[in-house]
Amino acid sequence: MASKKSVSDAVIKRLPRYFRYLSDLLEFGINRISSMELSKRMGITASQIRQDLNCFGGFGQQGYGYNVESLFREISTILGLDNKYQTVIIGAGHMGQALANYSNFEKRGYSLAGIFDNSPDVIGMKINGVTVADIETLEAFVKTHKVDIAMICVPYGHTRSVAEKAARCGIKGLWNFSPMDLKLNYDVIIENVHLSDSLMVLGYKLNEHISGNLPGNRQ
Amino acid sequence: MASKKSVSDAVIKRLPRYFRYLSDLLEFGINRISSMELSKRMGITASQIRQDLNCFGGFGQQGYGYNVESLFREISTILGLDNKYQTVIIGAGHMGQALANYSNFEKRGYSLAGIFDNSPDVIGMKINGVTVADIETLEAFVKTHKVDIAMICVPYGHTRSVAEKAARCGIKGLWNFSPMDLKLNYDVIIENVHLSDSLMVLGYKLNEHISGNLPGNRQ
DNA sequence: TAGATTGTTAATCGATTAACAATC
DNA sequence: TAGATTGTTAATCGATTAACAATC
């Protein structure tokens, strides 16, 4: 219950990056790294790395640096990757199907428990071993399966109502793929993925680049 | 050639949000809005809106506010949505197929010119009207089609080499879906989409939430 | 021990917010 | 004109970077 002071969003968003770089280091068989060396690889300052990590604990050792394996485990724990999450996909269109086939998530502890849709065209279809069920059966499903996260891949117009349905069922995490900033009057955590926003940013930078004002990211 | 002072990344990333909210306002038939009113809708300060917009020009009118339609057009122009972009998808797996079927992009001026893969299993297949071609034919294709953006949806291990191939062909924008921070020694703009990072952030916040320290985003 | 590198405090920088004169 | 709201400058806040004493 001791409420530790909350960590800033900027730091939280960097955690998966640390996770990835440490994972790579492990693969390379490197078992010790200094903040200085890691900073060179990641393209951020050593200071920032030490500050970030010290939000969660003193994982290093003076004069030595960080043990890659133990730091990797710490970051994994912080990110909650030791936990198992049950997920469902709502919307079995192209994006839903792509997510259902994404094996990376399973590897990180996010396992796919169900897929739901409202269209008879896809209900009953099997995607990556999971049969698409009628969205009307979601509530009953959640009652028996303890679902943590709903990945929402329905068309724009259905997003809010589907998200509310999921929240009402007691699902606590929503991963929203519609181009809207989903906010609900429920006690849920929402993470928005805005692919079209990302593409527009790319387009903007491309224009800036072509119009000759700004450099690309040659390094 | 007059190099205007460059706009911060934080502002650039908000542009697509403005675009979306203005687009909604248009749909609602609202044709005038003050920074105050828009700030309430978007959940940011009116000050920030005025500061952001004034990076690009004085689009408002004292005593009146902003004309929604003209502001929408300005933002569209800033984002380069008046331009037509030719895109190719590299990697015709599930994610590549999902992107190929995303009609939103077409609507915003990003048109799909080709899909490439290295697997005989998918080469020749038709996705949303576009036939998957052999990746070996990419260079010849780019020579005749002026491709602006490559959407890279190949497995992790192939990402760097495929990205380099695209850059060598002269493609200036890369949209990378692999969980790595792609950096190349080419003069290209790279935008990384890290779905697994986003999911991990959701997982982190879910944990924080459950362990009782932090509020969800009830509003 | 001497050298290296952390954890942490202090300084700097940039982004956000507040305030208000300009002006429609 | 009076009222409203912008554009813009100044103040504040938070995040990043630098510095260094602690310590392995």
Look at domain A85-196 and name its CATH class. alpha beta
Residue A54: is its pLDDT beyond 50?
yes
- A7-49 pLDDT, tens digit per residue, is 999 999 999 999 999 999 999 999 999 999 999 999 999 999 9
Nearest residue on chain B to A171, alpha-carbon basis: B206
| Residues touching nucleic chain C (CB < 7 Å) | A 33-36, 46-47, 50-51, 53-54, 58-66; B 8-11, 44-45, 47-48, 50-51, 61-64
Please give the average per-residue pLDDT across A171-179, as a whole number: 98
Q: Which residues contact A134 (CB under 8 A, 6 or more apart)?
A: A116, A117, A118, A123
Structure tokens at A162: 């589907």
Q: How confident is the model at residue B183, as a pLDDT?
A: 94
Please give the average per-residue pLDDT across A148-175, as a whole number: 98
- A194-218 pLDDT, tens digit per residue, is 999 999 999 999 999 888 644 444 3
Residue closest to C14, CA→C1'? B8
- CA atoms of A191 and B194, how far apart (whole Å): 13
CB contact under 8 A, A213 and B20: no
Annotated domain spans of chain B: 4-78, 85-196
Q: Which residues from chain A sit within 8 angstroms of residue B149, using beta carbons?
A: 202-203, 206
As a CATH number, domain A4-78 is: 1.10.10.10
Q: How confident is the model at residue A5, as a pLDDT?
A: 67
- A62-99 pLDDT, tens digit per residue, is 999 999 999 999 999 999 999 999 999 999 999 999 99
Residue B205: is its pLDDT beyond 50?
yes
Q: How confident is the model at residue B103, as a pLDDT?
A: 86
Average pLDDT score over chain A = 94
Concatenated DSSP letters of chain B: ---PPPPPHHHHHHHHHHHHHHHHHHHHT--EE-HHHHHHHHTS-HHHHHHHHTTT----BTTTBEEHHHHHHHHHHHTTTTS-EEEEEE--SHHHHHHHT-HHHHHTTEEEEEEEES-TTTTT-EETTEEEEEGGGHHHHHHHH---EEEE-S-HHHHHHHHHHHHHTT--EEEE-SSS----SSS-EEEE--HHHHHHHHHHHHHHHHTTSS-----
B175 closest CB neighbour out of A183, A186, A199: A199
Residue B214: is its pLDDT beyond 90?
no
Nucleotide nearest to B37 (CA to C1'): D5
- B108-127 pLDDT, tens digit per residue, is 999 999 999 999 999 999 99
pTM assigned to the model: 0.94
